[in-house]
Amino acid sequence: MTQFIIRRTFYALISLFILSVTIFAIVRLTGDPVTMLAEPGARAEDLDRLRAEWGLDRSWPVQYLTFAKNVFTGDLGKSFNYQMPVSTLYFQRLPASLQLALAATFISFIIGIPAGLISAVKVNSAWDNAGKVVALFGLAVPGFWLGLVMILIFSVWLGWLPTSGQGGILHLIMPSVALGWYFAASLLRLTRSSMLEVMRSEYIKLARLKGLPGYVVIAVHAFKNALIPVLTLAGINLVVMINAGVIIEVIFAWPGIGRLLYEGIFQRDFPLVQGVVIQAGIMIVLINLTIDILYAYIDPRIRLAK
Amino acid sequence: MTALLEVRDLQAHYVSFGGERVVKAVEGVSFTLEEGETLGVVGESGCGKTTTCQAIVNLLPPPGRIVGGSIAFAGEELTRKSQREMRHIRGAQIAMILQDPMASLNPLFSIYRQVSEPAYYHRALRGRGLRERVRELLNAVRIPSPAMRMREYPHQMSGGMRQRIVGAIALAGGPRLIIADEPTTNLDVTIQAQYLDLLKELQDKTGVAIIFITHNLGIVARMCDKLAVMYAGKIVEAGTVRELFNAPRHPYTKALLGSMPKLGSKEKLLAIPGHPPDLATLPPGCAFHPRCPEALPTCATAEPPEIQVIGSWSARCWRAEPQEISATDATTDSAKDIHAAAAVGD
Amino acid sequence: MPGIKITRRTVLTSAAFGATVLSVPFVRGARAAGGVVPKGKMTLAWHTNIASRWLDPQQHDGTASPDNFLFAIHDGLIKNLRDNKYGHLALAEHFDFPADAKSATFRLRAGLKFHDGSPITMEDVKWSYENYRGSSAKVLHEKTKGVTIVDDRTIRFDFTEPFLDFPILMGTGNLCGAGWVVPAKYYQQVGKDGFLQKPIGAGPYKLVSQVPGSKLVLEAFEDYYRPVHIKHFEIIGVPEAATRLAMIEREEADILYLVEGQLIDRIKKNSKIMLAPVLSGSWWLEFPGFQDPKNPFNDKRVRQAVSLAVDRKAINEAESGGMGRVSGNWINNDVEDALDWPEFEFNVAKAKELMAQAGHPNGFKVDWLTVVPNYFSRGERVISQLKAIGIQTRLQTMERGVYLKKMEGGLKEWPGLQIIMNATRIGGSWASWYEGMFKCGGFQGQDMICVKDLDAKFDQYQKSFNREERKKLAEEIQRGILENHYFVPVFRHAFVNAIGPRIKAAKWQDVFPTITSGYAYPWEDIELKEAAAAQK
Amino acid sequence: MAFVTEQTRAALAGSAPILAGLRRRWLRLAAGLPVVPLAILIPFVLIAVFANVVAPYDPTEPIPGAKLFEPPFWADGANPAALLGTDFQGRDILSRLIYGARVSLIVGVMGTIVAGGVGTTLGIMAGYLGGWVDQVIMRITDAWLALPALVFAIFLATMVGPSMWNIIIILGAVYWTRYARVIRGEVLSLREREYVKLAEIAGASSARVILRHVLPNVLNSAMVLASLTIGVVIIAEASLSFLGVGVPPPEPAWGSMLADGRSMLMVGDWWLTVLPGLCIMMVVLATQLMGDWLRVRLDPQLRNL
């Protein structure tokens, strides 16, 4: 088991290395943060001064080594635009993103899981189709459009909800629905396939054969088992929502990490983009690693194979 | 006195999307089972054995449906019962042991919870009484230190132990009939033998009737009183184990018996040539005729009727004939071989 | 020299002029004698994120973004305000810039304070100038021989040579931050990073709290030397234009920046919202690599035909709701030494004739037309207008960072035959425009334009200390560009902002009075309607 | 067990039964087609194919004489020449929607094919060849998953310049990872199947085994994934348009129509965005439902017959 964990950790580090090199190179290939400031009034000397101050006058390998070395010491570098450590910014924004992501996860649950359950239990019924269409709707429209239409209806026309920004629970409703609905479809699918798989399992057959009431079989025996992969997916979705809720955060002026990344990309704030991406990568890798280890713990066959 | 279970002309079909494909998994199956008796049902995969059993407990997986016939259990007609009524039969009157002990237990519930459920729902046991009952059951299936084991989870158990726990679950509701669907397929040989012994012992103790679904004739020889051989959704031959093993009338039964390795022989397993037919597109006449070494011209055109050989012994074959009273009754050599083979297992 | 006198007079007159124009608020301020009690709350929906470095004048990046924030939190010795381009007296009550331009003396108002209550001392002014490291720092420090504290309210800057641009740099909030005063002790104590977290300045609003990048919560600074009318002031970064509109519709925001051109007509009809079309950057077409004789744009007649084929009025109508300006010069006319130039003619027939004379009666194909991102629609309009004279081309869209990178890369990034629809921002000086956009080696000119005789004249201009000569050279250079159609000016677009119903404003200029900026400062002068001010 | 040998023998006989099985599966597909998704998709596909016949105007040129932002037919002051009104350039919205079907469907389908092609190939290579090839491919896949699509899209747009085809490449490059993962898993389990093992023992070359035994068997999963990806790709194109790096104008993609018109939503001209939004929604919903149906039909894991 220890060997398994070591091996998986090693793989994870390789993936992170590839990720860091890729992101390092591609942000640099697409522009120059200093050029973004090159407006009349700025002078070549100012630009050179900024390049030197931001460490961009050094060669790429040197820049990368500094970056990689710093990452190992937990330092993601300093944002050009904010003149603040990226990790400080990240953790400043994290609560807002986490709040939105948790609310969105909740929304995705209440849309996706019942629809998936109905879809699995009552295959091809009208309820199944209705649930499917509702859950798939979030995936079938672009998030920005859904967000804006909601703002139009609920803020501008009806005046029920504030348009944007972080605040009370009312501020949370529209962004979390817009974000969570997108993920509902994947939950629907996984809940359904996982339920169908569980329902076909021997232990559910046995549960029925025991003469348990139908709801006990479905809601207790089957659902509890079907929930494991669903929760795994929800965990990964949560990480994605925290780090990449770009469009929804932009539409709703939500002060989260996705917007930080968005601004970083358009401003070519290299340390910011690298930092957020690496941070997200670490979270994803960690969650995958945990899942792998947990599954290996449950199923010895995985442990022995690759 | 009515039989414990009387199945008459049972028909169960799977109708796929839109009805363009009908799989006649069970087509006119009849048999009876008395209290305390053991019936073996054998046949190749997909012959309708499992469907028959699922029909008995009215748990055909969709899109399966019972389309005809009757199932009388202790005088009550099961096919007319609602799912809610059936619920009180399942687990309480009829229990089932499934093929795969590894998969039959829910990995997320404790042994206690899983064993106690039938007693909880059917015998209304609660608290201390329930705990006592579980301990008894685990004792009965020879689980060591049951008080400790029942707090554990399936993944902490060995395969043999899990199958015994499945046995305990079957017994928990105090059923009169246990349907065991290939219960030992996934166990290794020594554990299989132990398990079969245990079942036999429990049957003796509780007087429960058992339907044993298997394709292992060794197990049949060891465990069963009666035998039904199924092919393509029909029972092609039925009778006592002794009768069928001694002088099988149906070529298919013969082929099955022939495919068993004889003790001490160097011969490997023999396969029956050809494939089992597609149940949605059965050949005309006798379903077995394409593979039958003794087929007559009539076999390809007309379906053979059920011919009563003697007593409850019947066969569906144009070649079968009613037997004279003076039939042999002694156990033949081949039957002895079979008993010996059963001791080793499949 | 008379020229210098004029300039000096300009500075002093500006102050006087400012005083007259501002007489209404000033009278009110004087009557209240600090008795204006700031009331109510105003929210500004800013159109991008809020980069923290904008909160520190010491690291002014030279763009037209920090001034929006500097004018709220900080204050300078002199600044651009209303129609005074750079000489409005702010912390200084007197500014003396002698004729030889070899020194400058400021006398500060009495009793000035920072937000933390500490007095503004001459040491603060000196430290802020000497440690300034933002845009133009090098030229300022190189040309400065010494900074002398004359007395506790007077400071003198001595220069190594005549430094004519000194007042422009010191007094233009969207160019340079050297003249903006930060508390030296506090700044050193918390460091430049700490300062961004909690900046302390001398401006009309002090920072209460912030979510870096997306929100600033400000409160009126009661000890400001001018009356501040609104108590609470929030700046929220809202990148999405449609959301900003919804906010002002819902009165969640009172002022918003940047309304898309296509919306102007619609919002004009909305009685609740007042549009503020501030004249902003100019747009023009340029022809990278036209110096190559094989390039069809090498022929002046072809460039002139392009100019004749562009329907500037239609573009202004569609893109700025007619609120932009169809001007002749590509250099904003409100920039010092900008040359006034008549509107260009729109005459397709004449354009076709010129094309035929140049040997392209059926026009020719241009690989791409690229427009400053994300103003793609105006590029599309130009493309369809050019079809009338047979110039066939397609729009090339790019993300902004990519566009700027390619501009900086010079001609090799623009292979084949291309047209660029370039633009610049508001403010600056004509020389900075020329240097940046046209001159050989300039950061957007690179090797794409390169007109040698004009560049030579520009070198002469930069070396000259003679104002007359400089003015003459400036005009010659601008005339040279326009007469030869090296650049084909299109229009000066409107940076359209919107004002919500809670703000007291008879016309939009009441809220956006400063001609050198697209923003709504001076913030302290903005007032809420009585009912809105009374709201909790 | 006695009867297993029969299956092994079938396997020894070669892959004929498998191919026959595949054919049978496809034949069975023809029956019981899902009505609703097809009723949506077929008209859209026809419109896309015959856009040049159906559309009343050139979608990239203003209607001569029409004003900007003319309202659609049901509103007051509508221009009868432009049934669904005009956009910010005075172009016919109906024509743009019609041509937009073509662009969006091409982007969706081709993006999916690129993603599916790359992902399936790499997945098969990783799963079948194993060893360091597997390691390299899977580590890249893992890294890719954490890479924001937007960063990548801007990067590629810089490298190759903006055009519809490059958007397709970008979306393909973003979405191949899910194929690689799923297909690799499938291949790993396929390798354990007897007929593949037997073919290997019989000395068939890797290429042959992949083509005859592996590919036909992973194709089902790839098809199901593809049907689910088309919609995601169409939506992703719209999101790229929102971020300013989508299909470049004047090409009429639904996504860019949506993004361009979105501010008009707040001033009352909702049809500019709602109409393309509805088109996207219908097509994506239909492809998703199609995908679900295909999945039930093709993916043996999930068939419940």
DSSP per position, chain A: -HHHHHHHHHHHHHHHHHHHHHHHHHHHHT--TTGGG--BTB-HHHHHHHHHHTTTTS-HHHHHHHHHHHHHTT---B-TTT-SBHHHHHHHHHHHHHHHHHHHHHHHHHHHHHHHHHHHHSTTSHHHHHHHHHHHHHHHS-HHHHHHHHIIIIIIIS--S--SSS-SHHHHHHHHHHHHHHHHHHHHHHHHHHHHHHHTSHHHHHHHHTT--HHIIIIIIIHHHHHHHHHHHHHHHHHHHHHH-HHHHHHTT--SHHHHHHHHHHHT-HHHHHHHHHHHHHHHHHHHHHHHHHHHHH-HHHHH--
Distances A105 to A98, A135, A230, D243 between C-alpha atoms, Å: 10, 13, 12, 24
Give the separation between CA B131 and CA B133, rounded to whole angstroms: 5
Chains C and B touch (3+ CB pairs under 8 A): no
CA B174 to chain centre: 19
pLDDT at B260: 67
How many angstroms separate the CA of residue C133 from the nearest CA in chain A?
9
Say if the Cβ atoms of D32 and B45 lie within 8 Å.
no
Chains C and A touch (3+ CB pairs under 8 A): yes
Domain range enclosing B288? 253-262+270-345
Asked if residue B217 and residue B307 are part of one domain, the reply reads: no
For A65-85, how does the pLDDT look when each residue is reduced to its tens digit (9 = 90+)? Answer: 888 888 888 888 888 888 888
What was the ipTM of the complex prediction?
A: 0.78
Q: Is the bond preceding D250 in cis, omega lying within 30 degrees of 0?
A: yes
Asked if residue B215 and residue B286 are part of one domain, the reply reads: no
Please state, rounded to an integer, the average pLDDT across all residues of chain B: 80
Q: On the CB side of C208, how many CA atoms lie within 13 Å of its CA?
A: 12
> Residue D211, SS3?
helix
* pLDDT bucket at B264, cuts 50 / 70 / 90: very low
- What mean pLDDT is predicted for residues D32-41? 82
Strands B209-213 and B226-231: unpaired
- What mean pLDDT is predicted for residues A78-106? 90
Say if the Cβ atoms of C405 and A43 lie within 8 Å.
no
pLDDT at C22: 40
Q: Is A46 on the interface with C (CB under 8 A)?
A: yes
- What mean pLDDT is predicted for residues B115-137? 86
* Chain D hits for B271, Cβ within 8 Å: 2-3, 5-6, 9
Give the separation between CA B223 and CA C224, rounded to whole angstroms: 102
Give the separation between CA C312 and CA C284, rounded to whole angstroms: 11
Among A243-257, C312-326, D183-197, the minimum mean pLDDT is found in: D183-197
- What mean pLDDT is predicted for residues D82-97? 87
* Chain D hits for C405, Cβ within 8 Å: 158
Domain count of the fold of chain B: 2
Question: Is-contact B200 B212, C-beta < 8 A?
Answer: no
> Residue C74, SS3?
coil
Give the separation between CA C232 and CA C528, rounded to whole angstroms: 11
pLDDT at D8: 39
Asked if residue B157 and residue B35 are part of one domain, the reply reads: yes
Asked if the structure places residue B231 within a domain, the reply is no
pLDDT at C18: 39
Q: How many residues does chain C have?
A: 536
For C480-515, how does the pLDDT look when each residue is reduced to its tens digit (9 = 90+)? Answer: 999 999 999 999 998 899 999 999 999 999 999 988
Tokens 């050179």, residue? A48
Q: Is B29 exposed, middle or buried, given 0-12, 13-18 or 19+ CB atoms closer than 10 A?
A: buried
Distances A183 to A104, B143, D175 between C-alpha atoms, Å: 8, 46, 16
Asked if residue B168 and residue B275 are part of one domain, the reply reads: no
Residues forming a β-bridge with D186: none
Q: Is A171 on the interface with C (CB under 8 A)?
A: no
Distances C402 to A52, B315, C373, C395, C397 between C-alpha atoms, Å: 21, 84, 9, 15, 10
Q: Which of C286, C345, A210 is nearest to B105 (CA)?
A: A210
- What mean pLDDT is predicted for residues B240-249? 85
For D2-23, how does the pLDDT look when each residue is reduced to its tens digit (9 = 90+)? Answer: 333 344 333 334 444 445 555 5
Say if the Cβ atoms of D302 and A193 lie within 8 Å.
yes
pLDDT of residue B327 exceeding 50: no
Question: Considering the entire predicted model, what is its pTM?
Answer: 0.81
| Alpha helices per DSSP H over D34-163 | 35-49, 51-54, 93-129, 131-145, 149-160
Tokens 């619609």, residue? C266
Torsions phi, psi for B303 (to 5 deg): -75, 135
* Chain D hits for B62, Cβ within 8 Å: 304
The residues of chain C scoring below 50 in pLDDT are 1-33
pLDDT of residue B65 exceeding 50: yes
Q: Is D163 on the interface with C (CB under 8 A)?
A: no
Question: Is-contact B79 B89, C-beta < 8 A?
Answer: no
How many angstroms separate the CA of residue C373 from the nearest CA in chain D?
8
Asked if the structure places residue B113 within a domain, the reply is yes
Q: For residues C34, C36, C40 and C43, what is the CA-based torsion angle, rounded to 10 degrees?
A: -70
CATH of domain A94-266: 1.10.3720.10
Q: Please tell me which chains touch C, using 3 or more CB pairs under 8 Å as the contact test.
A: A, D
Q: Is C402 on the interface with D (CB under 8 A)?
A: yes
Distances A22 to A27, A29, A34, A219, D100 between C-alpha atoms, Å: 8, 10, 21, 45, 34
Please report the residues numbered 260 through 279 in chain A whose beta carbons come closer than 8 angstroms to any beta carbon of chain D: 261-262, 265, 273, 277
Say if the Cβ atoms of B91 and A210 lie within 8 Å.
yes
Domain boundaries, chain C: 8-249+500-535, 281-493
Asked if residue B179 and residue B44 are part of one domain, the reply reads: yes
Rounded percentage of chain B residues whose pLDDT exceeds 90 = 2
What would the two tokens of residue D146 be? 């954490």
> Residue A184, SS3?
helix
Q: How many residues does chain A have?
A: 306
Closest residue, chain D, to C319 (C-alpha): D88
Say if the Cβ atoms of B44 and D3 lie within 8 Å.
yes
| Alpha helices per DSSP H over C216-309 | 241-249, 264-268, 300-309
For C57-116, how does the pLDDT look when each residue is reduced to its tens digit (9 = 90+)? Answer: 998 888 888 999 999 999 999 999 888 888 899 999 999 999 888 999 999 999 999 999
pLDDT at B67: 87
pLDDT of residue A37 exceeding 80: no
Among A107-121, B103-117, B317-331, C10-24, the minimum mean pLDDT is found in: C10-24
Say if the Cβ atoms of A206 and B118 lie within 8 Å.
no
Q: Is A57 on the interface with C (CB under 8 A)?
A: no
DSSP per position, D227-296: HHHHHHHHHHHHHHHHTT-SSPTTS--HHHHHHHHGGGGGGT-THHHHHHHHHHHHHHHHHHHHHHHHHH
Q: Please tell me which chains touch B, using 3 or more CB pairs under 8 Å as the contact test.
A: A, D
In this structure, the number of other CB atoms found within 10 A of the CB of residue A227 comes to 17
Asked if the structure places residue B238 within a domain, the reply is no
For B144-169, how does the pLDDT look when each residue is reduced to its tens digit (9 = 90+)? Answer: 888 888 888 887 888 788 888 888 88
Q: Is C404 on the interface with D (CB under 8 A)?
A: no
What would the two tokens of residue B79 be? 């096919």
**Per-residue DSSP letter, B102:** H
Q: Which CATH architecture has domain C8-249+500-535?
A: 3-Layer(aba) Sandwich (3.40)
How many angstroms separate the CA of residue A277 from the nearest CA in chain D?
7
Q: Is A201 on the interface with C (CB under 8 A)?
A: no
* Chain B hits for D6, Cβ within 8 Å: 271-272, 275
Tokens 């442990």, residue? A303
Say if the Cβ atoms of D239 and A285 lie within 8 Å.
no
Residues 6+ apart with CB under 8 A from B315: B236, B237, B238, B249, B250, B253, B306, B307, B309
Asked if residue B135 and residue B75 are part of one domain, the reply reads: yes
For residue A211, give the nearest of B87, B103, B104 by CB distance: B87
Say if the Cβ atoms of A212 and B89 lie within 8 Å.
no
Amino acid at site C381? R
pLDDT at B190: 79
Which CATH superfamily, name and number, covers C281-493? Dipeptide-binding Protein; Domain 3 (3.10.105.10)
pLDDT at D288: 87
Say if the Cβ atoms of C428 and A40 lie within 8 Å.
yes
* Chain D hits for B18, Cβ within 8 Å: 31-32
pLDDT of residue B178 exceeding 70: yes
Among B323-327, C278-282, D106-110, D144-148, the minimum mean pLDDT is found in: B323-327
Question: Is-contact B290 B277, C-beta < 8 A?
Answer: yes
Say if the Cβ atoms of D154 and C262 lie within 8 Å.
no
Distances B262 to B240, B246, D158 between C-alpha atoms, Å: 21, 15, 76
pLDDT at A41: 55
How many angstroms separate the CA of residue A219 from the nearest CA in chain B?
13
Asked if the structure places residue B203 within a domain, the reply is yes
Amino acid at site C26? F
Closest residue, chain B, to D3 (C-alpha): B271
Strands B94-97 and C487-499: unpaired
Give the separation between CA D85 and CA D67, rounded to whole angstroms: 9
Amino acid at site D175? Y
Please report the residues numbered 98 through 127 in chain D whose beta carbons come closer than 8 angstroms to any beta carbon of chain C: none
Domain boundaries, chain A: 1-81+268-306, 94-266
* Chain B hits for A202, Cβ within 8 Å: 98-100, 103-104
**A-B Cβ pairs (cutoff 8 Å, strict):** 72
Question: Is-contact B32 B75, C-beta < 8 A?
Answer: no
**Per-residue DSSP letter, A84:** S
Strands B177-181 and B94-97: parallel
Give the separation between CA C137 and CA C123, rounded to whole angstroms: 19
Asked if residue B207 and residue B78 are part of one domain, the reply reads: yes
pLDDT of residue B118 exceeding 50: yes
pLDDT at A48: 81
What would the two tokens of residue B303 be? 């379906």
The CATH number of residue B91's host domain is 3.40.50.300
Q: Which of C34, C53, C75 is nearest to C135 (CA)?
A: C53
pLDDT at C366: 95
Say if the Cβ atoms of A39 and C211 lie within 8 Å.
no
* pLDDT bucket at A297, cuts 50 / 70 / 90: low
What would the two tokens of residue A250 be? 């932009």
